[in-house]
Amino acid sequence: MKSLDYLYNSDIKIYQDDTMFKMNSDTRNLGDFLEFKKNDYTILDVGCNNGALLLYAMIKKRGKHYYGVDINPRALELAKENMMINNVDNFSFFNVDFRELKMEQVD
């Protein structure tokens, strides 16, 4: 079952699936730990699940492009939906083992 939540201490919406890993205090702590020195990074999240860390990155600084990799297709569906409901359009997701990923260099 899908439920709508918000990233901690923000108005950023995020859908989560009760049958999958859900964001928790570890996710929030990692999101708080993110630090960027400029606005045009290309950001990659390996094992992105529902895209929560990419959304935390979006809060911190506007990225040039957000990439997420996960082996769970349902997680990637949620991640795409989460980016779209937050008006993020510069994203790409890959349903592949990250060791097999072929893509441009990221920051």
The one-digit pLDDT tens for each residue of the chain (107 residues) are 899 999 988 899 999 999 998 888 898 888 888 888 877 888 899 999 999 999 999 888 778 899 999 999 999 999 999 999 999 999 999 999 988 888 877 77
| 49, 74 Cβ separation under 8 angstroms | no
Model pLDDT, residue 60: 81
Model pLDDT, residue 56: 92
Half-sphere exposure of 57 (CA within 13 A, CB side): 25
Q: What is the pTM of this model?
A: 0.89
